[in-house]
Amino acid sequence: MSTTTGRPVLAVASECAPLVKTGGLADVAGALPAALAPQGWAIRTLVPGYPSVMAALPDARVLADMPDLLGLPGRVLGARVGALDILILDVPSLYDRDGTPYLDVEGRDWPDNDVRFAALCLAAARIARDGIDGWRPELLHLHDWQAGLVPVYLEQLGVACPSVLTIHNIAFHGLTGADRMARLNLSPARFTVAGFEYFGKVSALKAGLVGASALNTVSPTYAQELTTDAYGMGLDGVIRMRAADMSGILNGIDTDTWDPTCDPAIKPFRRPAGKAANTRALRQEFDLADMDGPLAVVVSRLSDQKGLDLLLAALPAYLAEGGQLALLGSGDTALERDWRAMAAQYPEQVGVQIGYDEALSHRMYAGADAVLVPSRFEPCGLTQMYALRYGAIPVVARTGGLADTVIDANAAALTAGVATGILHQSHSVAALSHALQRLCMLHADTDTFRRVQKNAMKYPVGWDASAPLYAALYARLADEGKTNS
Same domain for 448 and 471, yes or no, is: no
Tell me: the pLDDT tens digits for 287-309? Answer: 999 999 999 999 999 999 999 99
The phi, psi pair for 119, rounded to 5°, reads -60, -40
Cβ within 8 Å of residue 215, ≥6 positions away: 164, 165, 166, 167, 209, 239, 242, 245, 246, 247
Task: Give the whole-angstrom CA distance, residue 340 versus residue 334.
Answer: 10
Query: Mean pLDDT over residues 103-108, rounded?
Result: 89
Residue 172 maps to a domain: yes
Q: What is the pLDDT of residue 270?
A: 64
Element (H or E) spanning 451, and its range? Answer: helix 446-458
Q: Which residues pair with 86 in a beta bridge?
A: 45, 79
Q: What is the pLDDT of residue 136?
A: 97
Same domain for 246 and 283, yes or no, is: no
Q: What is the pLDDT of residue 106?
A: 87
Q: Is the pLDDT of residue 250 over 70?
A: yes
Residue 258 maps to a domain: no
Tell me: the pLDDT tens digits for 197-242? Answer: 999 999 999 999 999 999 999 999 999 999 999 999 999 999 999 9
CATH number at residue 328: 3.40.50.2000
Same domain for 361 and 342, yes or no, is: yes
Q: pLDDT-based confidence at 273, cuts 50/70/90?
A: low
Same domain for 26 and 46, yes or no, is: yes
Query: Mean pLDDT over residues 467-471, rounded?
Result: 97
Q: pLDDT-based confidence at 1, cuts 50/70/90?
A: low
Average of per-residue pLDDT values in the chain:
95
Residue 431 maps to a domain: yes
Tell me: the pLDDT tens digits for 163-205? Answer: 999 999 999 999 999 999 999 999 999 999 999 999 999 999 9
Query: Mean pLDDT over residues 23-42, rounded?
Result: 94
Q: Please enumerate, by residue number, every residue annotated as part of a binding site.
A: 21
Same domain for 37 and 60, yes or no, is: yes
Cβ within 8 Å of residue 34, ≥6 positions away: 82, 83, 84, 254
Q: What is the pLDDT of residue 83?
A: 86
Tell me: the pLDDT tens digits for 61-79? Answer: 999 999 999 999 999 999 9
Query: From the centroid of its chain, how far is CA 290?
Result: 34
Task: Give the whole-angstrom CA distance, residue 91 versus residue 69.
Answer: 9
Q: What does the DSSP 8-state code read for residue 191? A: -
Tell me: the pLDDT tens digits for 108-162? Answer: 999 999 999 999 999 999 999 999 999 999 999 999 999 999 999 999 999 999 9
Q: What does the DSSP 8-state code read for residue 118? A: H
Task: Give the whole-angstrom CA distance, residue 303 versus residue 336.
Answer: 10
Same domain for 426 and 470, yes or no, is: no
Per-residue CA distances from 20 to 16, 26, 63, 208, 410 (Å): 5, 7, 21, 23, 39
Q: Please enumerate, by residue number, every residue annotated as part of a binding site for ADP-alpha-D-glucose.
A: 21
Task: Give the whole-angstrom CA distance, residue 472 versus residue 197.
Answer: 32
Q: pLDDT-based confidence at 268, cuts 50/70/90?
A: confident
Residue 243 maps to a domain: yes
Same domain for 397 and 452, yes or no, is: yes
Same domain for 91 and 240, yes or no, is: yes
Burial of 355 (0-12, 13-18, 19+ CB in 10 A): exposed
DSSP for 303-363 reads: STTTTHHHHHHHHHHHHHTT-EEEEEEEE-HHHHHHHHHHHHHSTTTEEEEES--HHHHHH
Same domain for 453 and 475, yes or no, is: no
Residue 307 maps to a domain: yes
Residue 330 maps to a domain: yes
Query: Mean pLDDT over residues 456-475, rounded?
Result: 96
Burial of 72 (0-12, 13-18, 19+ CB in 10 A): middle
Give the domain range for residue 399.
Answer: 272-458
Residue 438 maps to a domain: yes
Q: Give the range among 13-17, 329-333, 390-394 with minimum mean pLDDT.
A: 329-333
Q: pLDDT-based confidence at 267, cuts 50/70/90?
A: confident
Q: What does the DSSP 8-state code read for residue 39? A: G
Q: What is the pLDDT of residue 298?
A: 98
State the total domains in the chain.
2
Residue 260 maps to a domain: no
Q: Please, what is the Cα angle at 255 between 249 and 261, to 5 degrees?
A: 155
Per-residue CA distances from 8 to 118, 139, 148, 262, 459 (Å): 23, 7, 20, 33, 32
Q: pLDDT-based confidence at 271, cuts 50/70/90?
A: low
Tell me: the pLDDT tens digits for 416-426? Answer: 999 999 999 99
Same domain for 196 and 247, yes or no, is: yes
Q: Which residues pair with 109 in a beta bridge?
A: 103
Express as a percent the part of the chain with pLDDT over 90. 92
Q: What is the pLDDT of residue 388?
A: 98
Same domain for 14 and 147, yes or no, is: yes
Task: Give the whole-angstrom CA distance, residue 462 versus residue 251.
Answer: 8
Same domain for 234 and 309, yes or no, is: no
